[in-house]
Copies of this chain bind each other. A is one copy, B any other.
Amino acid sequence: MSNPTAAMLVIGDEILSGRTRDANMYFLAGELAKVGIDLHEVRIVRDDREAIVVAVQSMAGTYDHVFTSGGIGPTHDDITADCVALAFGCEIDVRADARALLEAHYARTGAELNAARLRMARIPDKATLIDNPVSVAPGFSIGNVHVMAGVPSVFQAMVASVLPTLTGGAPLISETLRIDRGEGDIAGPLGALAEAYPALSMGSYPFQLASGQYGANIVIRGADAALVRSAMDKLTALFKA
Q: Which of B20, B25, B43, B207 contacts A205 (CB 8 A)?
A: B20
Residue A232 lies at the interface, judged by CB distance under 8 Å to chain B: no
Q: With the chains together, A205 CA to B126 CA distance in Å?
A: 29
Majority secondary structure, A binding face: mixed
Chain A residues packing against B (C-beta within 8 Å): 13-22, 25-26, 28-33, 39-47, 51, 73-77, 111-112, 114-117, 119-120, 134-135, 151, 153, 172, 174, 182-188, 190-191, 194-195, 201-208, 216, 219, 221
Interface centre among A51, A174, A203 (most CB of B within 10 A): A203
Is A119's CB under 8 angstroms from B18's CB? Answer: no
Contact A172 B16, beta carbon cutoff 8 Å: no
Measured in the bound complex, the distance between the Cα atoms of B186 and A73 in whole Å is 11
Contact status B116-A187, CB under 8 Å: yes
